[in-house]
Chain A
Amino acid sequence: MKQTDIKRLSLYLLFAPFALWIALLIILPHLGMLYISLREKVGPRVYEFGFENYINFFNEPIYWNTLLRTGSMSLLVTVLALLLGFPIAYYIAKIAGNRTRGALFLMCLIPLWVSDLIRAFGWILLLRETGVISSSLQWAGLIDTPIEFLYNDAAVIMGLVYTVILFMIVPLVSTLDGMDNSMIEAGYNLGGNGPTVLRRIIIPYAMPGIVAGCIVVFMLTAGSYLTPILLGGKNSSWFTEQIYDQFITRYNWEAGAAFGFLLLGFTSFVVWAGLRLTGQTLNSTVAKS
C-alpha cells in the first residue's frame, strides 16, 4: 500500500466512530424530535404535519411563562455565579501562594464529583423546617418556631448557584492563570487604582473565560431538573419539569418534543445573543477551555 492510501484509510477508520457518535446520538435524535414536534394528532395513530404543538405553547400562558421564568432565573443564576465566582477564581489564580493554589483549586472541584442528587439532598437537610439551620437558630434562641427555608425561589437560586459555580470558576482560573502579572503591575505603575485596573485590564483579559463560564453555566441551569424540583417543590415551575410532565405523565410526546425544541432554541438564542454582545465566538471561548 502507498503511504497516502494508509493515511486515507486511517482517516476513515478514525472518522467512523466520530461520525457514528455524532450522527446517531446527536443529529438524528434531534431531527427525529423536530419531526415529531411538527406532527399533529388528528386521530388515534393518525398524524398530520403542522405547527399545532408550537401554537399551543404560545396560546397557553402557563407554558411560555414557565419558559420565560426559567430563562430569567437562569440569567440571574449566571450573573450571581459570575459575581461570586470571579473573586474566588482571581484569588486562586493570582493571590494564593503556589502551594495553596493547587489545594484550593482541588477543593473547588470536590462538589463536582458528588451527584446533583446528594448536593440537593444536603441542602434539604440544612434548609427544611426540621433542618439543621432552623433547629440551630431555635437552639440559639433567635427564633421561636421552626422556619421553612425550602420551597421558595431563593432556595432554588441558591441551590442552582451552588451546583453550577464550579463551571464558572474553572474556566476563569485557567484564563486568569495565563495572564502575566506584569500587565497588572503596569496598570498600577501608570497610576491606575484597583477598580480601574480591574475594569480596564483584568476583565478584558479574562473575557473569553467569563463568556465560556457564562455559557456553560446558563445552559446547565436552564437544563437542570433535580435542583429546582427538590429545592423548589411543587411551585418551582421549571421548564424541564413541563417537558417531563408532557412526556412521562401525559404521554404527549408531540408536545414534549416541541417543548424540548423550544428550550433548546431559547437557550441557544440567549447564548448566541450573549456571544454577539460580547464579540466572542464559540470557538474562542468554550472550545478553548
Chain B
Amino acid sequence: MAIKSNPAFLTSYRLYVALFFVFLAAPLLAAGVFAFNDSLFPSLPWRGFTLDWFFNDTEPKLGMFHDRRLLRGLYYSFVIATGVSLLSVFVGTCNAFLFVRCEFPAKDFLYIMMVLPLVIPGVILGISILLLASSVANGVEETLSLDLDFLRPGIVLVVLGQFSFITTITSLVIVARLKKFDQSMEEAAYNLGASRVRVLRTITLPFLFPAMAAAGIVAFLVSFENFNTTLFLVGSEAPLTITMYDRMVKVGSTPVLNAVSFFLMIGSALLALISILVQRDAPKT
C-alpha cells in the first residue's frame, strides 16, 4: 500500500508504532504494578509480592478495602456515575429521535449547540454551573428565606455538571445508531396494525438498545474518572478521584493509591469489554 516498497522504512515504521504503544502503556503499568510491591513507597526496588495494599487491615499498610475514606469515595463515585449515566442516556435518546426523526427550524445550529459542551473546558463548565446555582440559592434565601440545599456544592451539582457534557457523548453514540435504522421496518409494523407505543417498544427501542447500553457504560466511565468539572462542584461527599487527589497532595503517594488505580483499571477494562460485546452485532459506530 502507500509509502510502500522500502523494507528498511517499513521496519523502522513498525518499530515506531511499537514504541508508541510502550509509551501508552508505561504509566499505566507503573501505576498498576506497584500495588503489589511489599514496600511503603511506590518505587523501586522491588521488595516482593504482596496483596496487603488491597486487604491488610492495619496501619501503616492499610489496604484499600479497609480504608474508610477511599471506600466512601468509591461509593459516591458509584452513585454519581449511575445517576449521570441514566440521565444522560435518557436525554441522549430523546436527542437522537429529535435530530434524526424531526424537522424543525435552526436544526443545524442546534446540532452544533448539542456538540458544543464537549469542547468547553471542564473547568469552565464547573465554575459556570457553580456560579449560577449559588446565585440562585443566595437569591432564593434572601427573598424567600428558603434554603435550597441541592443548589449548594454537593452530589446533585456534581451529577448535573457531569451530565452537562456527558449527554453530548451519549447523544452522538445513539444518533449514529438511529441513523442506521431502516424506517421501513416501522412502516411494516404500522401496516400490520401496531400502535405507536408498541412499535417503539418492540421494534425501535430493541434496535437502539446496544447503542444505549454502550452509551450508558461510556457515560458511567467518563463520570467515574472526571475530575475537572467535579472539582468545583464537590461538597462533603467527595467521589473517588477527588479523594485520591487529596490524598496525593496532602499525604503523598502511597501504594494504596496504586491499589485503587489497579482496581479502577480492571473495572474500566471489564466495563469497556462489556460495551464492546453489546455493540458487537451492530456495525461499528
Q: List residues of chain A with CB under 8 Å of any chain B CB.
A: 6, 10-11, 13-15, 17-18, 21-22, 25-26, 28-30, 32-33, 36, 84, 87-88, 90-91, 94-95, 104, 106-111, 113-126, 128, 130-132, 135-136, 139, 162, 181, 184-185, 188, 194, 197-198, 202, 215-216, 219-220, 222-226, 230, 240, 243-244, 247-248, 253, 256-257, 260, 263-264, 267, 271, 282-283, 286-287
* Segment 229-285 of B: residues with Cβ below 8 Å from A: 231-232, 241, 244-245, 248, 253, 257-258, 261, 264-265, 268-269, 271-272, 276
**Cβ of B132 < 8 Å from any Cβ of A?**
yes
B62 partner residues in chain A, CB cutoff 8 A: none
Report the interface size class on chain B.
35 or more
Shortest CB-to-CB span from A256 to chain B, Å, is: 6
Rounded to whole angstroms, the CA-CA distance of A78 and B266 in the bound complex is: 30
**Across the interface, do A118 and B28 meet the contact criterion of CB distance under 8 Å?**
yes
Q: Please judge, given known A-B contacts A223-B123, A264-B120, whether A94 and B30 are in contact too, CB under 8 Å.
A: no
**Across the interface, do B127 and A121 meet the contact criterion of CB distance under 8 Å?**
no
**Cβ of B36 < 8 Å from any Cβ of A?**
no
A contacts with B: majority SS = helix
**Across the interface, do A18 and B98 meet the contact criterion of CB distance under 8 Å?**
yes
Q: Please judge, given known A-B contacts A11-B104, A184-B2, whether A267 and B27 are in contact too, CB under 8 Å.
A: no
B183 partner residues in chain A, CB cutoff 8 A: none
Shortest CB-to-CB span from A105 to chain B, Å, is: 10
B129 partner residues in chain A, CB cutoff 8 A: 25, 29
**Across the interface, do B123 and A114 meet the contact criterion of CB distance under 8 Å?**
no
A220 partner residues in chain B, CB cutoff 8 A: 121
Taking CB as reference atom, which chain A residue is nearest B117?
A: A26
Stretch of B39-47, B48-56, B203-211 on the interface side: B39-47
**Across the interface, do B124 and A113 meet the contact criterion of CB distance under 8 Å?**
no
**Across the interface, do B23 and A162 meet the contact criterion of CB distance under 8 Å?**
yes
Rounded to whole angstroms, the CA-CA distance of A81 and B238 in the bound complex is: 33
B contacts with A: majority SS = helix
B31 partner residues in chain A, CB cutoff 8 A: 118-119, 121-122, 125
Shortest CB-to-CB span from A247 to chain B, Å, is: 6
Rounded to whole angstroms, the CA-CA distance of A195 and B40 in the bound complex is: 53
Q: Which 7 A-B pairs have the closest CB atoms?
A: A223-B121, A122-B27, A115-B225, A29-B128, A122-B31, A25-B164, A113-B268
**Cβ of B192 < 8 Å from any Cβ of A?**
no
Rounded to whole angstroms, the CA-CA distance of A224 and B123 in the bound complex is: 8
**Across the interface, do B104 and A15 meet the contact criterion of CB distance under 8 Å?**
yes
Q: Please judge, given known A-B contacts A17-B94, A286-B115, whether A260 and B23 are in contact too, CB under 8 Å.
A: no
Rounded to whole angstroms, the CA-CA distance of A131 and B128 in the bound complex is: 38
**Across the interface, do B1 and A29 meet the contact criterion of CB distance under 8 Å?**
no
* Segment 94-119 of B: residues with Cβ below 8 Å from A: 94-95, 97-98, 102, 104, 108, 110-119
Rounded to whole angstroms, the CA-CA distance of A10 and B101 in the bound complex is: 10
**Across the interface, do B116 and A26 meet the contact criterion of CB distance under 8 Å?**
yes
Partner of B131, one of A115, A135, A219, A257: A257
**Cβ of B178 < 8 Å from any Cβ of A?**
no
**Across the interface, do B102 and A125 meet the contact criterion of CB distance under 8 Å?**
no
Rounded to whole angstroms, the CA-CA distance of A107 and B42 in the bound complex is: 25
**Across the interface, do B43 and A260 meet the contact criterion of CB distance under 8 Å?**
no
Q: A28-B132, A114-B265, A121-B31 are in contact. List 10 more A-B contacts (CB 8 A).
A: A17-B90, A25-B164, A106-B276, A110-B272, A117-B244, A185-B2, A194-B2, A198-B2, A222-B121, A223-B121
**Cβ of B185 < 8 Å from any Cβ of A?**
no
Rounded to whole angstroms, the CA-CA distance of A91 and B160 in the bound complex is: 40
**Across the interface, do B3 and A260 meet the contact criterion of CB distance under 8 Å?**
no
Rounded to whole angstroms, the CA-CA distance of A32 and B130 in the bound complex is: 10
Most buried by B among A32, A194, A282: A32
**Across the interface, do B1 and A95 meet the contact criterion of CB distance under 8 Å?**
yes
B94 partner residues in chain A, CB cutoff 8 A: 13-14, 17-18
Q: What are 16 residue pairs bridging A and B, where the CB atoms are less than 8 Å apart in the complex?
A: A33-B128, A87-B13, A110-B272, A114-B28, A121-B253, A122-B28, A128-B43, A225-B122, A225-B123, A226-B227, A230-B248, A240-B228, A253-B131, A260-B123, A264-B120, A287-B111
A185 partner residues in chain B, CB cutoff 8 A: 1-2
Shortest CB-to-CB span from A68 to chain B, Å, is: 17
Q: Please judge, given known A-B contacts A91-B17, A287-B115, whether A125 and B164 are in contact too, CB under 8 Å.
A: no
**Across the interface, do B102 and A11 meet the contact criterion of CB distance under 8 Å?**
yes
Shortest CB-to-CB span from B209 to chain A, Å, is: 18
Q: Render B8-37 as a binary contact track against A, CB cut-off 8 A, 1 for contact.
A: 000001001100110111111111001000
B131 partner residues in chain A, CB cutoff 8 A: 29, 32-33, 36, 253, 257
A247 partner residues in chain B, CB cutoff 8 A: 127, 130, 232
Partner of B228, one of A14, A136, A226: A226
**Across the interface, do A181 and B95 meet the contact criterion of CB distance under 8 Å?**
no
Partner of B2, one of A10, A197, A260: A197
Rounded to whole angstroms, the CA-CA distance of A273 and B66 in the bound complex is: 53
**Across the interface, do A136 and B264 meet the contact criterion of CB distance under 8 Å?**
no
B132 partner residues in chain A, CB cutoff 8 A: 28-29, 32-33
A117 partner residues in chain B, CB cutoff 8 A: 225, 227, 241, 244-245, 248
**Across the interface, do B28 and A132 meet the contact criterion of CB distance under 8 Å?**
no
A10 partner residues in chain B, CB cutoff 8 A: 102
Shortest CB-to-CB span from B161 to chain A, Å, is: 8
A244 partner residues in chain B, CB cutoff 8 A: 123, 231-232
